Amino acid sequence: MTVPAPGLPARVRIHEVGARDGLQNEKATVPTAVKAEFIHRLAAAGLGTIEATSFVHPKWVPQLADAEQLFPLLGDVEAALPVLVPNERGLDRALALGATRIAVFGSATETFASRNLNRTVAESLAMFEPVVARAKQSADRPAHVRGYLSMCFGDPWEGAVPVHQVVRVAKALLDLGCDELSLGDTIGVATPGHVRALLSELNEAGVGTDRIGVHFHDTYGQALANTLAALQHGVTTVDASAGGLGGCPYAKSATGNLATEDLVWMLDGLGIETGVDLAALTATSVWMAEQLGRPSPSRTVRALSHKE
């Protein structure tokens, strides 16, 4: 049953991360053809933004070592296909294949920046500066640049992260030229009040809600509650992973991302448009779970697939 609630956006753009963030931790190598089929199926289910892969050095994320082989297989996909680039070398590789949407991945905390990027927060921002500048100045077509900001609510080594610290790094990423900012609850410790506080302080610092996306993990079962709090604040871009795939290789306490199906079930019930066919998406996640040899952790996938 659809029962709208007041104060919510009419439409939400789902930024699907299953093919990149969802698969990057898989120990067994997923064949390139399976990844390509996964992305095609996600697009056919109505997802308009699908993060395809990462042009990171294969040593750091072996699962995504096939970026050069995968991306050319996606030319007929009718969806935006952002890719993650860690540095200028990664940008070169992405642009050479015609990527027009890129993302950089920063940290709000020093410890995670050190462990994930082997740099301080300031050094990582300095590394991103030429990446963003060159992407925006691409001769053929300026790229759309997304800035991921991890550890926005808590860090496994530093604990709770002060809101003002997150705002400072968030503004720095946007000042580099990022078009959009994704706020990451990397270890899933956020609660709705914390979400509202961070969004409010970002607004007070001059960051418009229209430039903000949210990326919640479900470690403590709070991802949907936090998403609803963000929607009530006016956020219209939500990251999610088909079937609830993924976590974070550098934060061992992190469990899976918010499952796209769980998100769509909630949004459908609220009468919020997404353009996503939930039945087709569920079938895609069931198929992907079969490829991986284990059931999907998504509650909605399990509920709907058990009805069949």
C-alpha pair distances (Å), 38 with each of 67, 73, 85, 168, 275: 14, 12, 21, 37, 18
Strand order in the sheet with 180-185: 49-50, 13-16, 237-240, 212-216, 180-185, 144-150, 101-107, 83-84, 53-54
98 within 8 A of 88, measured Cβ to Cβ: no
C-alpha pair distances (Å), 17 with each of 4, 197, 246, 257, 260: 27, 25, 9, 9, 9
46 within 8 A of 14, measured Cβ to Cβ: no
Per the annotation, the verdict on 152 as an active-site residue is: no
Q: Nearest 5°: phi and psi at 234?
A: 110, 0
Task: Tell me which of 223, 240, 248, 278 is the catalytic residue.
Answer: 248
User: Between the CA atoms of 44, 50, 56 and 62, what dihedral angle is there, to the nearest 10 degrees?
Assistant: -50
Q: Nearest 5°: phi and psi at 226?
A: -70, -40
Q: How far apart are CA 282 and CA 302, in angstroms?
A: 9
Using alpha carbons, select from 214, 145, 164 the residue that is nearest to residue 185. 214
Token digits for 124? 């990582």
Element at 150 (helix H, strand E): strand 144-150
Active-site residues: which are they?
A: 248
